[in-house]
A and B are shown apart, each in its own frame.
Chain A
Amino acid sequence: MADVDKEIVQKLKDINRYETNLILPAVNNYFKSIQGIMSYLVTKKGMGGVYVSATRPSKAIMSRLGSEINLDDVFFVDAVSYMVEGVPPPSGNVIFVESPTMLEMMMTKTEVQLKKVKSANKFVLFDSINALAVYNNENILSEFIHVLVNNLSGKEIYSFILSVSEQTSEKISSMLKMVCDNTVELGGE
């Protein structure tokens, strides 16, 4: 864990606003990488932001991150819970999207959540492209990445898109690398 944290600090220290960072975590260190990134952004850099989850329900993410990281200024867009548990109970800092196929809604809900962030330095963490690939075909996903990255790049925020290389098709991988400003590979154990 300490190695992952050190690597994240080293690789994220030069990130800039208006740029979109493609994060390629190793599959065996996936959640450790998320923990490390969130810890770096929230605890070390004092940022607040929006966590867009298409991989795990927000409740699960909050329970795992919340013990170590103060999530008061982190707001979630959750595109998983409806799929796994039906209509989820309302949650203060979470907006639910009914299906990961409603890609545009993930963008509009991110806009809404960003307005709630109090910190001057804001981030958006998108977790993950691989989860969306389960429900969306390559054409629409590729178009979504293009629109999403350009949408995020125009904002005064720090943006991160997660994608596990081993699980990403060549077409999607090429699109991600083409439109993102920086690529950050996080090694395995």
Chain B
Amino acid sequence: MVVVRSKCKTGIEGLDNILGGGIPRGNTVLLSGPCGSGKTTLGMEFLVNGAKMDENSVFISVTEPSSKVITNLRGFEFFDENLIKKERLYLLDMVSLYARLGMEKKDYKIQEIDPLINIMEDIVKKLKVKRLVIDSITAIAHQLESRVRIREFVFNLGKTLSDAGCTSLLISEVAPTGAWGMTPGVTYSAYGVEEAIADGIILLGAIERKGYMLRTLHVVKMRGTMHSLAKYILDLTPNGVVLVPLLKWGAESG
């Protein structure tokens, strides 16, 4: 008998249909794309929608202070600051993580994988987190010294989060190729190992049409669900992410 996995609805217009109902609960998904492709916005909307559905949601910002993240979020109509006050939505940065470890930034070496995994596990368990976004996994991987350690980190992190029933998006920054967009199949992460371990890959990119750039979204893989393999146009609007099918005759026209 086929067991249908419970889905974590992203609440993002069009994305749940593309994913066959949502992300299978407990999946660790790589959300990849070059800068400006909409990764952080998509990740935040996923969390805010979860918080609105009474699922505790956490955003871990590795590269910028959480205050800056909040400032950017205020430009979106989907964001409700009360979710933070109600402790449904948590925005943490590295300083908060160090504090949880009882350390100051100068004392902590990110190369130590176990403490970092432990602190994430602690956050997920104590706060009963159902959704987690790490922005970005690339910034963490950059501190680790080898592909083996990156693989070990992503594997252990994925297992820890999955065991806790937490659905997570690991934001992966990739260098743009071509005009601005990526060529699918070339790379989904900076180090080329994260994608092999992740349960899913959502690839953001762009195409150029007659001199104008259009953002795209493509679900490359997602374990545990039948999903669309088509490429979609992604629009960042004040309401959040909106997706429509990419017109096939306009996919490659210059």
Contacts and interface: CB of A to CB of B under 8 A. Distances in A.
Note whether A and B form a binding pair.
yes
Interface of A: 98-99, 101-105, 107-109, 111-112, 115, 135-137, 139-140, 142-144, 147, 151
A99 B244 contact: no
A102 B249 contact: no
A144 B247 contact: yes
Contacts of A143: 247-250
B92 interface: no
B235 A108 contact: yes
A147 B247 contact: yes
Contacts of A115: 239
Contacts of A107: 244
Contacts of B235: 104-105, 108-109
Given A102-B212, A105-B214, A147-B245, A112 B237 contact: yes
Contacts of B245: 104, 147
Contacts of B250: 101, 103-104, 136, 140, 143
A99 B242 contact: no
Contacts of A142: 249
A151 B244 contact: yes
B13 A111 contact: yes
Contact of B242 (A102, A112, A144): A112
Contacts of A151: 244
A101 B212 contact: yes
A104 B247 contact: yes
A53 B253 CA distance: 23
Contacts of B233: 104-105, 108
Given A104-B214, A108-B243, A109-B237, 5 more contacts: A99-B212, A102-B214, A103-B250, A104-B246, A140-B247
Interface of B: 13, 209-212, 214, 233, 235, 237-239, 242-250, 253
B242 A111 contact: yes
A16 to B, nearest CB: 24
Tell me the interface secondary structure of chain A in the complex: helix
A142 B249 CA distance: 9
A98 B210 CA distance: 12
B214 A108 contact: no
Contacts of A136: 250
Contacts of B238: 112
Contacts of A101: 209-210, 212, 250
Contacts of B249: 137, 139-140, 142-143
A105 B210 CA distance: 14
Contacts of A99: 210-212
Given A143-B248, A144-B247, A108 B212 contact: no
B251 to A, nearest CB: 9
Contact of B212 (A98, A109, A137, A144): A98
14 contacts: A103-B247, A104-B235, A104-B244, A105-B235, A108-B235, A108-B242, A108-B243, A109-B235, A111-B242, A112-B237, A135-B210, A143-B248, A147-B245, A151-B244
Given A112-B238, A115-B239, A140 B253 contact: yes
Contacts of A112: 237-239, 242
A105 B214 CA distance: 8
Nearest to B240: A112
Contact of B237 (A104, A108, A140): A108
A135 B210 CA distance: 10
B244 A108 contact: yes
Nearest to A147: B245
A13 to B, nearest CB: 32
A108 B216 CA distance: 13
B179 to A, nearest CB: 15
Contacts of B243: 108
A111 B250 CA distance: 21
A147 B248 CA distance: 11
